[in-house]
Chain A
Amino acid sequence: MNAVFKTFALASFLVMFAAGAHAGETVVSQKNKDFSQKSLKIKVGDSIAFRNDDPFFHNVFSLSDAASFDLGSYAQGQSKSVTFKKAGTVEIECSIHPNMKMVVEVQ
């Protein structure tokens, strides 16, 4: 019985460890022409899902050396993800709403 318990405990630990080792995903909402977070720290390999919670289009992009991308325009309720593969500071903007800005520190 004790052996079964130990095996179960070990299996549980391994499952939890494996889950922790996975890259994380953070959801950043676009609401009222603003990002829900102005700054964010993530690890290399992590992703951010940019979710449009406004009733109009957003178009998130970055021109930073650490991550250069353009997600294109997407409507309310839609979400687009980016995986950050390089450490550094990433400035993120919306091409439709020039006042929308946030900074992601990829560590």
Chain B
Amino acid sequence: MRASLRTIISLAAFVPMAAAGSEQDQIAKVCKPADAEDCIVREFKHTLEASKIRGRIVYKNYCVLCHGETGMGDGRAAKVHTPKPANLVASKAPPEYIDLIVRKGGEGVGRYRGMPPWGDQLTDEQIADVKNYLVALRRP
């Protein structure tokens, strides 16, 4: 339900951009708020918006355990990690670094070993999607 609300808000943000004829404009024209996420993933699967939606699903399945629902690093498994899992909302890591640490894990990039390597578990598309979702999750 929260995801749907977020999508509706996102779609509402597309409306002022309609005049520009952007990708987001096309999405807003084709996809109705009621099934916006399914529509975007289905009809606009190569767009950043679709990638972020898929990335959120990857995040909820694999990352939320440590990094928490909102990415603050307060997932239910955070208590067994010292240092605590990264606050992804406050992260300033470049996207290339996200790609690397997701694939190789913390130990693989010379950091805390609590972050597992996901390169064997996730596809290239899933890693790209979760990277796009994490970048969108950031707050200034």
A and B co-occur in one complex: yes
**A residues touching B (Cβ–Cβ < 8 Å)?**
56-57, 59, 61, 63, 68-70, 72-73, 95-98
Question: For the complex, what is the distance from the CA of A73 to the CA of B107, rounded to whole Å?
Answer: 9
Within the complex, the shortest CB–CB distance from B76 to chain A, in Å, comes to 6
A95 and B116 form a contact (CB under 8 A)? yes
For chain B residues 105-140, which have a beta carbon within 8 Å of chain A? Answer: 105, 107, 113-114, 116-118, 120-121
Question: For the complex, what is the distance from the CA of A68 to the CA of B77, rounded to whole Å?
Answer: 10
Q: Quick one: CB contact mask for B87-116 with A, threshold 8 Å, 1 for yes?
A: 000000000000000000101000001101
Q: SS class of chain A's interface: helix, strand, loop or mixed?
A: strand
Question: For the complex, what is the distance from the CA of A63 to the CA of B80, rounded to whole Å?
Answer: 7
Contact of B116 among A57, A63, A68 (CB under 8 A): A57
| Chain B contacts for A56, CB-based, 8 A | 120-121
Closest A residue to B122 by CB, please name it. Answer: A96
Question: For the complex, what is the distance from the CA of A61 to the CA of B113, rounded to whole Å?
Answer: 13
| Chain A contacts for B76, CB-based, 8 A | 63
Q: With A57-B120, A95-B65, A97-B121 given, is the CB distance from A68 to B80 under 8 Å? A: yes
| Chain A contacts for B116, CB-based, 8 A | 57, 59, 72-73, 95-96
A69 and B80 form a contact (CB under 8 A)? yes
Question: For the complex, what is the distance from the CA of A72 to the CA of B118, rounded to whole Å?
Answer: 13
Known: A56-B121, A73-B105. 15 other contacts (CB 8 A): A57-B120, A61-B77, A61-B80, A63-B77, A68-B79, A68-B80, A70-B77, A73-B107, A73-B113, A95-B65, A95-B77, A96-B62, A96-B121, A97-B121, A98-B62
A70 and B114 form a contact (CB under 8 A)? yes
Most chain A Cβ neighbours within 10 Å, of B76, B116, B121: B116
